[in-house]
Amino acid sequence: MKAATVVITAIAALLLSPAAVANDSMPAAVAELRCPAAATAPAPRVPHVAGLTTENTDIPSVDELGDLARPVELFPPVLDRRGIPGFALKDADGHVRPRRFAFWGDSHIAAGPMMAQLRDAIRAHGESVAVRFLPPTMGRANVRLPALHAYCIGPAWKTELAFKDPGPIATGPALATRVVSAGADSYVWLDLRTADLKPQVKQVTLVYRAGAADAQVGVTVDDGPEQTVTLAAGSTRQAIAADPAISTIKIRVGGGTLALEGFVFDYIAPPDVTLDVFGLPSATIRGWGNVDTNAIAAALNGESYDGIALEYGTNDGAVEPFDPVAYRAGLTAALTNLRSLFPDASCVLIGPPDRGVLLSRGARKADFLKFARIHARIADIQAETGSKFGCVPWDWQAFMGGPGGAYAWVHHNPVLMGPDLTHLTMDGYKRTGQALAASLGWAGTDTSDFPP
């Protein structure tokens, strides 16, 4: 393997100003990452996020539920695909056409198995698929980033979340920004290789919020010597390329403060489809209502998406009492911001799944449909409000059998609902992802794939 040539290119706004640095001392083989002892542990590979305590509670029994434990048929919701042409993988003649998709949502899509079904469906169609914009959420609990073979991140990084901010907040498309000041624990390392250690990325672009002062960043590519890069005040991007490819990249802040908004990948072999997933546990639609759209536009640097989807509602419906008027206003603000950024993209609103109620031990009575009714109301508001913004609803609760479907899923074989009656099991998320892929036209519509 010949030595790689590393090129660091500074990008300020839309102005490209390259400066090449040849490096002939790179090793022939690139070692796997070994995180420092103080590194944040990788997020656990779990099928769902509990998020809610299940201690001293019970799942209602079949006898206690009665008809609510009925079997359900898992048929994919039908979408009018004429209203979402941007999600079509091929043109009218059956030819592959490059497509860019983005999904935003909460823990349901952050943990991985649901979105993995979409990638599998795209590959089954014969198209290649990869991540274009990687969110800076490595190290966040219950977030999986399939674009990475491995990563390390120092404990000094702090996280700004758009859905927790009163807004407007300057952030990138991930709706989360990682912030760190210079210091020993300011590092983030990424292994960009495939599972079999094949390099695939030729350029990584750091996307960050413009600061009031310069920052210095140390960059190491493929175990080579560290190069110091100055991130000029007012700039928002820093490109790092290698010939022929980058296996690992190590970044540390050596001076000033870095507000990291994500990474953009350019591949040796450009994929047919890019699928960006911006999942944040506990997120609500409030995040999109709070954003500074100019900051997101700067982070995207002129790029857009053919199809976009928002998957929210579970956390919005957990507020007591639920206020449908306030939720409709928040959704309207969110979709206004979304459409100002992506006016021509096909849009899908994925409603919340059904949610059940656990019984406290010693108390065997409860309003079993307490949350189910709220989720049904949220789905109705999404359908009504979304239509004003050209967004098509995908009713997840209906796919589960309607209000109360969570109980049918938790008593299903295999079990499809998690023990908190809020999140799904691995099988539940897989079946949901398969159904969504079918609804989008990315998988066959043979309902035998969705047995009761």
Which secondary structure element, helix H or strand E, spans residue 396, and what is its range?
helix 396-399
C-beta of residue 356 within 8 angstroms of C-beta of residue 372: yes
User: Which pLDDT does position 12 carry in this prediction?
Assistant: 32
Per residue in 50-101, pLDDT tens? 445 556 789 999 999 999 988 887 789 999 999 999 999 988 888 888 999 9
Mean pLDDT of 161-181: 95
| CA–CA dist 65, 364 (Å, integer) | 11
- Percentages of the chain per state (helix, strand, coil), in multiples of 5: 25, 30, 45
| CA–CA dist 345, 322 (Å, integer) | 31
User: Which pLDDT does position 55 carry in this prediction?
Assistant: 63
Indicate the average pLDDT of the chain.
89
User: Which pLDDT does position 71 carry in this prediction?
Assistant: 82
Per residue in 227-272, pLDDT tens? 999 998 888 999 999 999 999 999 999 999 999 999 999 999 999 9
Q: Point out the least confidently predicted range of 6-15, 48-57, 267-276.
A: 6-15
> Is residue 452 scored above 70 in pLDDT?
no
User: Which pLDDT does position 233 carry in this prediction?
Assistant: 83
Per residue in 364-400, pLDDT tens? 788 999 999 999 999 999 999 999 999 999 999 999 9
> Is residue 431 scored above 90 in pLDDT?
yes
Q: Where are any strands of DSSP class E within 351-395? A: 359-360, 391-394
- List domains and CATH numbers for the chain: 5-449 (3.40.50.1110)
C-beta of residue 265 within 8 angstroms of C-beta of residue 131: yes
User: pTM above 0.95?
Assistant: no
Side-chain-side CA neighbours of residue 173 (13 Å): 30
Percent of the chain with pLDDT over 70: 88
C-beta of residue 25 within 8 angstroms of C-beta of residue 3: yes
User: Which pLDDT does position 51 carry in this prediction?
Assistant: 47
User: Which pLDDT does position 38 carry in this prediction?
Assistant: 65
> Is residue 295 scored above 90 in pLDDT?
yes
